Amino acid sequence: MRASSILFQRHCILAPGGNLKLHLFFLSAILCIPAAKGQDLNCDLKDYKRIDGMSAEIRGAALEVLWDGERGEQLKAGFSIRNGQPLVSDLEVRKSGGKWVMLGRDLAPEFEVTSGKRRLSEQQMAPLRKLGPLTPALIEREKWNAFWDAPLMIPGAPNTNLDLPRKPEEIRHASASYQAGGCRVKTDGARIEITFPSLSMGIFSGELQFTMYRGSNLLRVEAIAKTEEPSVAYKYSAGLKGLAIHDETRLVWRDVARAWQQYGFGGGVNTDQVAVKARNRLAIVETGGGSLAFLPPSHKFFFAREIETNLGFVYYRKDSETSFAVGVRQADREEPYRPYGVSDEVWDRRAHEARHDINNFALYNAPPGTWQRMPAYFYLSPSNGRETADAILAYTHDDQYKAMPGFKVLVSHFHMHFNEQLTDAGSLDTQPSWLQVFRGLGIDVAILADFHGDAHLNDPGPLRFKEQQVYFEGCKRFSDRNFLLIPGEEPDATLGGHYITFLPHPVYWSHVRTPGQSFVGTESPYGKVYHIGSPAEELDMLRREQGLMWQAHPRTKGSAGHPDAVRDQAHFLSDRFLGGSYQSLPVDQSQKRICEVRCLGLLDEMNNWGAGAKYMIAEGDTYMKYPDDETFPQLIVNYVKLDRVPKFTEDWGPISKAMRSGDYYVSSGEVLLRNWAIERGAYTAEVEWTFPLEFVELVWGDGKTTGSQIVRATDLGALGNHRFRIPFDRSGKKWVRFAAWDSAGNGAFTQPALLN
């Protein structure tokens, strides 16, 4: 007989005798209620192993997990099933040696998914048409790299995507339901996973999973589901409902201006989720004795956008006068940025550009049969909201890119229209709002990309050189002793697809050369100028000025089909072609790495092509920024080996030389590398991380194929560091790179090192 059945019988025995019998009857009925609501818990424990500081045990109708958290704290989570519905029967936490604090009882996980149809964008089709016919197979492959797609926008803007208009019936909404008859318990290194089968959510089906990590107060709740439908793009929300409202219950968060806000659930009942535009994507339920925080994954939750406005990524919903729900969410659409400009003409143009953003809200990819992971994080704390927030922000270094000795943080590809901003204001000393954003993130070097839809980019010189002069002077005035603004460009001139140019000093050049203009000459008051009339001349300019170029957003957007289409051309084969840009585009939640196929796949292929070392450069490719934006989760950066940041008036050559040598690594910010090397038959790398680490890997190529070795790291807890030593045989290999990825999908990777 099961333990839960024994408890049921014991509680329901009636004592004999008069009124005492009647009193015991009612007492027995009350005691029977919890047992009657629940069901016997049948859990598969074959993959469970007790480890120090972490255990799982079936107690009656519930599974209880006990684990050690941060700062000597202990945490407890109970799991049960009621009518097929998995429940978090209790969440508790205590300080070292203290009393247990109850944070929640009988909480039901809630998941909702909204899906639409994925379409190829016209921007992708333009370069692809030049390379050959748009076959059904090509469209099927390339649509999964769509950026200019907004599947929930009905009917869609004309000439933006294939097969418009969108139809209302394409959009489907579904909430998760369950028919769980048991669970599986698995120990994976220093974590325990609890999985409940039989999750159904519209066109998706799969399972529900909870993960707890020794040494961390995090609890991960996620739906893991797949669909067999074609062309699915989707978004999800995930949370817990059934949290109790007491006199001391309140929700706290910092608003976009970093002021603390609170809500005590004294208002009316909500019908829908209430989006909270919380700073750091973090809100916290204070229970009176402790706190339960909730937040999305810090980077992989976010798909590529052109701006980083805070759309409210967490929610609450008051369901009754006694209970509420909280969780994480994505919005249905973009909110255009605030336009700017001193004239009606400029204001109208910028407002029109801002409206373009609503056509870019691509959601996640769900190719048929892929297991999509839809997580939310909860954080159990015995402290108040503000102390809890400080503890959680350690996982993102307070949303900053941590300074690392011997490295400087570099970002690239930002369309700020800086020249136009300064000209409109009538002063070169007008401080732009985006400058504060970069400085606040801990960025040391920012490469801008003006003259991309702004200013007179195709003017042969008379107008463009004047605008470049303003651009250069503005970057000079707002650079500093420890911060450098580089006036880069995305010219899209002669070399195929979209690309970025980085010159290690200001250079005046035009994209066109008219009759009578020489390739290189001298013009007052600018000095040396270039007029580009061909791909060979543009490459020649890059060589003369020791500049670099790389493919912007390779294999998508205006670079669809590139750099594949130019791999045999002179500029790609030269040492001036650095590689391609890296950003989280697209997002497929079945993949363990950020931009796993499009970016990292291309990186490995380029180095097998045999044109010398090619790299990935983390880029933003975004527009206007304000200090109240949520920029950190939507930006990935480069840590470049530099002792110091050059001043604007100095040669920026040390930056370009370090990048050309591959002396940098790409990071989302949560995973950092201190050093890496090949030594004595092994690859060594010292890694630092915040979220519990998932795995590290060596990736190599022989000039034709790519191989890899993955080393699981789930035995390593949160907020740690470790020196990895992976045996490595160089024979037959032409290049190698290293990467580390955490359990939230964040990561860091080195550039490929050629093996002589």
pLDDT in tens, 659-695: 999 999 999 999 999 999 999 899 999 999 999 999 9
Q: How confident is the model at residue 345 (pLDDT cuts 50, 70, 90)?
A: confident
Q: Are 277 and 311 in contact (CB under 8 A)?
A: yes
User: What is the DSSP annotation of 170-221?
Assistant: G-EEEE-EE----EEEEEETTEEEEEEEEEEETTEEEEEEEEEETT--EEEE
Q: What is the residue type of 489?
A: E
**DSSP character at residue 245:** P
Q: Are 38 and 85 in contact (CB under 8 A)?
A: no
pLDDT at 695: 98
pLDDT at 339: 79
| HSE (side-chain half, CA atoms, 13 Å) at 519 | 11
pLDDT at 23: 41
Omega before 646 cis (within 30°)?
no
- How many Cβ atoms sit within 10 Å of the Cβ of residue 338? 13
The mean per-residue pLDDT over the stretch 278-306 comes to 97
Q: How confident is the model at residue 39 (pLDDT cuts 50, 70, 90)?
A: low
Q: Are 746 and 298 in contact (CB under 8 A)?
A: yes
How far is it, in rounded angstroms, from Cα 174 to Cα 176? 7
Q: How confident is the model at residue 492 (pLDDT cuts 50, 70, 90)?
A: confident
The mean per-residue pLDDT over the stretch 597-601 comes to 98
Q: Are 301 and 691 in contact (CB under 8 A)?
A: no
**DSSP character at residue 651:** -
Q: What percent of the chain has pLDDT over 90?
A: 89
Mean pLDDT (the chain) is 93
* Low-confidence winner among 32-41, 392-401, 444-453, 698-707 (lowest mean pLDDT): 32-41
pLDDT at 127: 96
Q: How confident is the model at residue 261 (pLDDT cuts 50, 70, 90)?
A: very high
| Domains of the chain, first to last | 3-37 (no CATH), 43-114+173-394 (2.70.98), 118-172 (no CATH), 397-669 (3.20.20.140), 670-756 (2.60.40.10)
The mean per-residue pLDDT over the stretch 343-361 comes to 81
Chain segment 380-419, per-residue pLDDT in tens? 999 999 999 999 999 999 999 999 999 999 999 999 999 9
pLDDT at 15: 35
Omega before 727 cis (within 30°)?
no
Which residue shows structure tokens 């990048």?
659
Q: How confident is the model at residue 3 (pLDDT cuts 50, 70, 90)?
A: very low
Rg value, the chain, Cα:
28
Sign, CA dihedral 125-131-136-137, equals negative
3-state secondary structure of 619: coil
**Per-residue pLDDT at 232 exceeds 80:** yes
Q: What is the residue type of 521?
A: G
The mean per-residue pLDDT over the stretch 241-246 comes to 97
Q: What is the residue type of 486?
A: I
**Per-residue pLDDT at 30 exceeds 70:** no
- How many Cβ atoms sit within 10 Å of the Cβ of residue 516? 7
**Per-residue pLDDT at 37 exceeds 60:** no
Chain segment 104-137, per-residue pLDDT in tens? 999 999 999 999 999 999 999 999 999 999 999 9
pLDDT at 354: 73
How far is it, in rounded angstroms, from Cα 159 to Cα 16? 82
**Per-residue pLDDT at 524 exceeds 50:** yes
How far is it, in rounded angstroms, from Cα 212 to Cα 55? 10
The mean per-residue pLDDT over the stretch 220-225 comes to 98
How far is it, in rounded angstroms, from Cα 267 to Cα 271? 12
pLDDT at 453: 84
pLDDT at 12: 34
